[in-house]
Structure 1
Amino acid sequence: MLGKLFDRRWRHLPRLFISLWQVSPGLGSIILVVRLLCALQPPLVIFVGKLIVDEIVELNRLSLPGSGLSDWLGNGRLTPLLAYIGLEFLLTLGNTVLMRATALAEALLGERHGNAMAVLVIEHGVSMDLAQIESSDFQNRMQRAVAQTAMGTPLLAQLLGQAQNIVTVIALAVGLIAFIPGLMVLLLVALIPALVGEAHFNAQRYGVSRDFTPLRREAEYMRFTGADPRIAKEIKLFDLGGFFARRFGELAGEIHRANRAIAIRHSAWSSLLGGVASIAYYAAYALVAWRAVIGQISLGDLVFLTGSLLRLSGLFERTMLGFVELADRSYYLDDFYSFLDTQPSIRRASNPHAMPSAMRDGITFENVGFRYPGREAWAIRHLSFHLTAGRTLALVGENGAGKTTIVKLLTRLHDPDEGRILLDGVDIRAFDLAAYRDRIGTVFQDFARYNLTAATNIAAGRITSVAERARIEDAAQKSLADRLIAALPAGYEQRLGNGYMRGHDLSGGEWQRIAIARAYFRDADILILDEPTAALDARAEADVFERFRNLSTGRTALLISHRFSTVRMADHILVLEQGRIVEEGSHRALIDKNGRYAELFQLQAAAYQ
């Protein structure tokens, strides 16, 4: 049991120490020095107490110098006793000051370290690939990692507390061994069962915590969704509040019952094993008392030994069980660092090909096939087409035809399982991933709505240029978002969304114009528009695409839309069904062909008649 407990869990402790030290070497040094001083205080106080008692016994043997305090002080006999008392006072006062100092230093270091770890989790999380981010297993692991971002503070305090206790135990043990060596063995043997018991139950608690992560995620989803203002209308109108509350109660109850069962067993066994430790302690206490009765040790020695025993009893238990708790925390530490050690599934080029300064030929899909992880069916298969540089290609098809999958492959959110995608004749996997994506601007159907200022929402397209206000305003003008921003109370500095006080929420169409402005601000070589005007009315859509037509001259664009009024502006159109191309050509050519495209066009046109 113990070997299994103290195995690989400890391998992450050096990484934790290094990260804590890197956050603030100054605070780390203060904490180490103060902890060492605090560790030496208990044995020194007990030893000084022994000296006080021995001095009092010695004074009682001497003849009285007089009846008053002044006689004793004038005689000088109280000088050693007063010195010992003063020394004990200084040790006690100094320990109080030092403990306050280390608590302050550890709190400051813990907060800074927690913030640094949270940044690491965010940066690492977004560096993962879309397939990983969208998997439930990854979400479970990320939630556990996020929960541990603040674990540095308690773990640091516990580790240093353990080190402090060990130094104190060694100092006290030296004194005990000098008088009665067998006492140490008695205490150790008595506390081993408690150590094994705590190890067992800590492992069980971690197992429940890990196994119930999906249930906790669902419970948190139910709790926050039930109070989410973004969907409050549906919750009220569909009377879903009771459903979310009941489901949260069911999930929370199931988790509680599992934890309660372990807690009850743990309490029962801890009481039993604690009783064994108490019996051992009082047996040792009786042995010390007997040695004093028969005159083998002095009264001062008795005070020192009983004080050491009392302190050691608590220290032994706290230290040995503390190691078990550290191992327990190390399980969670393993969650944190194992998450940080997760590598992206998309292969990065070890010796990347240089990106062309400007695209000349275009994008080519060669016999591309792709299946989403965990699915048997192919999303697309044997797909081949060419997007000519400087031209606009539109993708048409019903839901599930593979349009958005093509976008994900083109942006390398996924890599194809078959075939390859070329940019100017070079496999896009040969380029540096960041450099390749830097040349692409996108407007997704489910675009992000950031609770940030209007200016930052637009600048998110290329956040390194957030200070370039002229470019931000130009992008807003191109997307026709400038007028709605001008109407906001604080203009470009207005925080959007209703997640914060004084935030200003926008309609779906207004948010979509912000998202389009974001793509214009990115100023990329390849522009991908996935249902970019789905939330706009017909007039607004016409305005946006008239502007796009004028601004996209010479720009390579991929367009996805269910609206044929939008699609018809493309230079070339692909009609997709079940991941395959069934027709392609210009709008006029496809209408004349009177095939699937013409059928879909007529169906949509009829809806407006």
Structure 2
Amino acid sequence: MAIKTEKPKSKPHFFKNVLKIATLTWRVDPWLFTWSGLITIIMGLIPIAMSYTFKLVLDNLILEKNPAGIISASLLGYFAFRYIITLGNDLLEVYQGWYFQGVNQMKIQNYLNYSTSEKISSLDIDHFENSDTQNLINRAAGRSVSEIQRYIEHLSSALSATVTFISSFIVLVSFNWWIPLVLTAVIIPRIFITNHRVKNIWSAWKERVPKQRELSYLIGILQSKESVREIRLFSSREELLTRVDAMQTHLMEHTLIPIRKYLKRAPIPIILETITIFILIYLKLPATIIGTISIGTLTFYIQNADRILASAGNLQGRISRLSEMNLYTADYFELMELPQLVKERDPGHEFDLIAPPYIEFQNVSFSYLPDTPVLKKISFKLSPGERLAIVGPNGSGKSTLVKLLLRFYDPTSGRILINDLDLKDLRLRNWYKFVGTLFQDFSHYLISVKDNIRLGNPELVDSERMVEAAKKSGAHEFIEKLPGKYDQKLGRRFEDSVEISAGQWQKLALARAFYEEAPVLILDEPTSAIDAETEAEIFDNLNKTYKDKTLIFVSHRFSTVRNANKIIVLKDGAIAEEGTHKSLMGHNGIYARMFRKQAKGYIE
């Protein structure tokens, strides 16, 4: 089942996104959101109050004709009031910047990290195999999260600039109604030029994401411990560095195109605004000279004329930046809204299993892409406690069959039955409790040994069971030799951690699967990095301790396959042969040829 690539979505609506971000911020901490908003509004009014008190101080200073130099109570009061406002503004800036915004930023960062991780980890596997969705995940988990934090800062500044703009607009109306209108109109060219810049920069960034992913991959290879040996041996370092350099140069040039276009037009609104403010101030000079308006009033007028342009420019700049961020932050909300492709029934059926269930595939077919079947009419039955081995050439559909049983995908046609119930009717969280798994591309958790094993069943804390699982997988012996034993942190990334070999990682992953003690155990190439002697020991343990459980394993090693109750041989997505080792060897078909070829390699 392939995901259909969706058509590119239209540009996200600005005000809808603002509302989403505001709602998100409120949800994180309603108290901080409310107080931060109130302080922002107050700080938007403070510049007008400071300008007006300065006007009063200036006018009183000019009127004050006192040979003795005695300061009047009114003049002292205006001076004091102005600096009380300044003090209040400075204190509010400190609390707003260092507490309200600082604490809020940390809380929002935590919320975004958690919600993004929660969503991505819950996505269907199919989403990860679609390049468009992969690009979305990279954008949302990368720049979107950081942009949302900055978005909130800009939103707060935009609110403050709006309050300042409106208050300055009202003040200038008291001089002449048309003055603030002219000043507002002269900002329009800046709006058009900046919006055009935003669209171009975002389009360029979106086009860069696939190449940026490729660049990150190449840099990762050059910096990876796993790759450094081959790079040295094959002398491929210069070739890879050349590719990195070429790609970085290409991306840089692509980034500079919209910036160069903007810089050609940027001076136009700046020159227009400067000429306009000069003319408006010049028109008020005659009235000041003849005494119709005071020096303080002229100063108040000039400050508000400058401020309306500054606040409008600031507001426009913030809105422009928010519009740009809008395009990035929208990726976060798009990620959050990605649908579940594997739909669960509501309510789904729940088992209370102790013994393994009866499993049946009925004419199951599956395609990742239309008209390209990976599995074709697969039918077989698996009784409780049976050992099923799935073998076949690479690309024959072995791992895909396992993924269907785990319902990572739904069959294109046919049914999978668990105790005569369609797998689609089961509650997946409940079903996964009864299935232990180990994939060939298992995860390396850079945490303690005991936590690595306990992740097989996080709800259960049982030290004896943990050690027993490690013994069954052959991991206990090397764990006991580690400096911290079961408390030892693994990997080289963190302090006091220790790296272990590929085979030891696989034993640890097996221990994780065994710790769950599920009625059904699925192993996909469980011993590919383990030596033959240890492999034989692990399967001896499995045969002894898992007699009453169902075991399904995919393997290329026929030494592990031959003891299975049932062997299915896949070829080109279909069951080519089915039976026991003895019957398949007697049939002298694909399985027998593959077995003899591998056995010959061991004998020779």
Aligned partner of 1:57 in structure 2 is 62
Q: Distance in 2 between matches of 1:462 and 1:247?
A: 44
In the TM superposition, residue 99 of structure 1 has moved relative to its aligned partner by 0.6
Aligned partner of 2:37 in structure 1 is 32
Aligned partner of 1:536 in structure 2 is 530
SS in 2 for 1:415: coil
Aligned partner of 2:136 in structure 1 is 141
Determine whether 1:604 maps to 2:601.
Answer: no
Aligned partner of 2:568 in structure 1 is 574
Larger mean Cα displacement after TM superposition, 584-593 or 483-492: 584-593
SS in 1 for 2:489: coil
Q: Distance in 2 between matches of 1:57 and 1:506?
A: 83
Maintained 8 Å contact 1:194/1:321 = no
Q: Distance in 2 between matches of 1:41 and 1:160?
A: 15
CA change 1:5–1:426 in 2 (3 A) is closer
Q: What residue identity is the alignment partner of 1:231?
A: S
Aligned partner of 1:512 in structure 2 is 506
In the TM superposition, residue 315 of structure 1 has moved relative to its aligned partner by 0.9
Determine whether 1:84 maps to 2:89.
Answer: no
In the TM superposition, residue 500 of structure 1 has moved relative to its aligned partner by 2.2
In the TM superposition, residue 15 of structure 1 has moved relative to its aligned partner by 2.4
Output aligned runs, 1:215-294, within 5 Å: 215-294=211-290
In the TM superposition, residue 59 of structure 1 has moved relative to its aligned partner by 1.7
Larger mean Cα displacement after TM superposition, 272-281 or 20-29: 20-29
Larger mean Cα displacement after TM superposition, 294-303 or 395-404: 294-303
Maintained 8 Å contact 1:107/1:153 = no
SS in 2 for 1:371: strand
Q: What residue identity is the alignment partner of 1:128?
A: L
Larger mean Cα displacement after TM superposition, 468-477 or 110-119: 468-477
Q: Distance in 2 between matches of 1:486 and 1:85?
A: 77
Maintained 8 Å contact 2:28/2:107 = yes
SS in 2 for 1:527: strand
Q: Distance in 2 between matches of 1:222 and 1:352?
A: 44
Larger mean Cα displacement after TM superposition, 542-551 or 216-225: 216-225
Aligned partner of 2:496 in structure 1 is 502
CA change 1:316–1:186 in 2 (3 A) is same
Q: Distance in 2 between matches of 1:139 and 1:26?
A: 36
**2:515 equivalent among 521, 529, 552:** 521
Maintained 8 Å contact 1:288/1:306 = no
Aligned partner of 2:207 in structure 1 is 211
**2:328 equivalent among 332, 349, 368:** 332
Aligned partner of 2:317 in structure 1 is 321
Aligned partner of 1:368 in structure 2 is 364
Output aligned runs, 1:175-194, within 5 Å: 175-194=171-190
Unmatched 5+ stretches in structure 2: 1-8
Q: What residue identity is the alignment partner of 2:182?
A: L
Maintained 8 Å contact 2:344/2:428 = yes
CA change 1:304–1:541 in 2 (3 A) is same
Q: Distance in 1 between matches of 2:390 and 2:12?
A: 55
In the TM superposition, residue 523 of structure 1 has moved relative to its aligned partner by 1.5
Aligned partner of 1:165 in structure 2 is 161
**1:480 equivalent among 455, 464, 474:** 474
Aligned partner of 2:343 in structure 1 is 347
Maintained 8 Å contact 1:30/1:102 = no
Output aligned runs, 1:104-143, within 5 Å: 104=98, 105-143=100-138
Maintained 8 Å contact 2:356/2:549 = no
Determine whether 1:387 maps to 2:382.
Answer: yes
Aligned partner of 2:3 in structure 1 is none
In the TM superposition, residue 401 of structure 1 has moved relative to its aligned partner by 1.4
Q: Distance in 1 between matches of 2:579 and 2:137?
A: 45
In the TM superposition, residue 294 of structure 1 has moved relative to its aligned partner by 4.1
Q: What residue identity is the alignment partner of 2:231?
A: I
Maintained 8 Å contact 1:111/1:150 = no
Aligned partner of 2:4 in structure 1 is none
Aligned partner of 2:19 in structure 1 is 14
Deviations 1:264-322 (A, max 9, x none): 11112111222112111212121222332343322221111011112222111111232
SS in 2 for 1:148: helix
In the TM superposition, residue 464 of structure 1 has moved relative to its aligned partner by 2.8
- Using structure 1 for the length normalisation, give the TM-score: 0.94
Aligned partner of 2:459 in structure 1 is 464
Q: Distance in 1 between matches of 2:10 and 2:401?
A: 48
In the TM superposition, residue 375 of structure 1 has moved relative to its aligned partner by 5.9
Larger mean Cα displacement after TM superposition, 11-20 or 299-308: 11-20
Q: What residue identity is the alignment partner of 1:238?
A: F
Q: Distance in 2 between matches of 1:420 and 1:19?
A: 42
Aligned partner of 2:293 in structure 1 is 297
Aligned partner of 2:484 in structure 1 is 490
Maintained 8 Å contact 2:539/2:560 = yes
CA RMSD of aligned residues (A): 1.7
Q: Distance in 1 between matches of 2:519 and 2:219?
A: 43
In the TM superposition, residue 347 of structure 1 has moved relative to its aligned partner by 1.4
Q: What residue identity is the alignment partner of 1:94?
A: G
Larger mean Cα displacement after TM superposition, 578-587 or 12-21: 12-21
In the TM superposition, residue 552 of structure 1 has moved relative to its aligned partner by 1.1
In the TM superposition, residue 58 of structure 1 has moved relative to its aligned partner by 2.0
Q: Distance in 1 between matches of 2:293 and 2:462?
A: 83
- Using structure 2 for the length normalisation, give the TM-score: 0.95
CA change 1:469–1:285 in 2 (3 A) is farther
Larger mean Cα displacement after TM superposition, 351-360 or 180-189: 351-360
Maintained 8 Å contact 1:458/1:521 = yes
Q: What residue identity is the alignment partner of 1:269?
A: R
Deviations 1:334-382 (A, max 9, x none): 111011111121112123123253456511111111111x464211101
CA change 1:6–1:309 in 2 (3 A) is farther
Maintained 8 Å contact 1:573/1:585 = yes
Maintained 8 Å contact 1:359/1:424 = no
Maintained 8 Å contact 2:355/2:548 = no
**1:410 equivalent among 379, 394, 405:** 405
In the TM superposition, residue 239 of structure 1 has moved relative to its aligned partner by 2.1
Q: Distance in 2 between matches of 1:360 and 1:108?
A: 51
SS in 2 for 1:151: helix
Q: Distance in 2 between matches of 1:361 and 1:39?
A: 68
**1:151 equivalent among 133, 137, 147:** 147
CA change 1:188–1:504 in 2 (3 A) is same
SS in 2 for 1:149: helix
Maintained 8 Å contact 2:448/2:488 = yes
In the TM superposition, residue 163 of structure 1 has moved relative to its aligned partner by 1.0
Aligned partner of 2:53 in structure 1 is 48
CA change 1:316–1:412 in 2 (3 A) is same
Output aligned runs, 1:557-596, within 5 Å: 557-596=551-590
In the TM superposition, residue 149 of structure 1 has moved relative to its aligned partner by 1.3
Q: Distance in 2 between matches of 1:445 and 1:316?
A: 59
Identity %: 28
CA change 1:7–1:16 in 2 (3 A) is closer
Q: Distance in 2 between matches of 1:376 and 1:299?
A: 83
Aligned partner of 1:306 in structure 2 is 302
Maintained 8 Å contact 1:476/1:517 = yes
SS in 1 for 2:373: coil
Deviations 1:433-474 (A, max 9, x none): 211122211111121111111111111212233x43232222
- What number of residue pairs does the alignment pair up? 593
